[in-house]
Amino acid sequence: MGLHHLTIALLLFISLSCSDRTERRVESTVFAQDSTAFKSVDSNVEGGIGSSNKIIITSFEEDLNRMKLDTILQGDVYLSIMPTQLDTYLTQEWTQGDTLYRHNYSDVAYRLNIKKTGKTLIDTAFTKQDIIAGTDPEFENIARFFGYWLDEYINGNEMVIFGTICQPDTDWCIFFNHRIDINTGEIKFVIPDLEEEKI
């Protein structure tokens, strides 16, 4: 019985090692950031990119629950910041040896809703394009809207929302503020010079 299994294993090994070398191997993994949950799928595909024999695709999706803010502030001011995952992805690719690595990062938009004494002052959504459009086309193509949260609430008159847009896995970011007049709903954008933020 043991010899029979050994013979089958040996024949299987020989047949796999003699198979067509143009076949590409794809490993696809989906991660929920800040979570241990992930799903992995392996499959064989013909063709591929360049001379890579193996393609590893990893998709990162945001845990949107960790970024939600829904609160009532002093002066009967209601603030809600709700992230929404978009249908678009930012893709980064590089090769190492005969392996092509592809990381897909989901794009996120943030809906900002502010009410004062029941009256809606602001109800709008922001994407990275709304913030950085026209500043640096290279950065716009490789960056994602990473975070958007309450930074300061000043004397019940002004709110400062802090945001970051970054190239994943790097320190290349821009930081910006939305300074919001709670009495009028006016939003002022404060965006530093992009060149100064390259680290």
The predicted model scores a pTM of: 0.67
CATH code at 116?
2.40.128.510
Report if residue 198 sits inside a domain.
no
Report if residue 72 sits inside a domain.
yes
How many domains would you assign to the chain? 1
Distances, alpha carbon 48 to alpha carbons 18, 87, 185, in Å: 20, 24, 52
What DSSP element (H or E) covers 137? helix 137-142
Report if residue 157 sits inside a domain.
yes
Q: Which of 133-137, 150-154, 177-181, 185-189 has the lowest mean pLDDT?
A: 133-137
Report if residue 199 sits inside a domain.
no
User: Tens of pLDDT along 133-169?
Assistant: 877 888 888 899 989 999 999 888 999 999 999 998 8
The range of the structural domain enclosing residue 80 comes to 2-193
69 near 22, Cβ under 8 Å? no
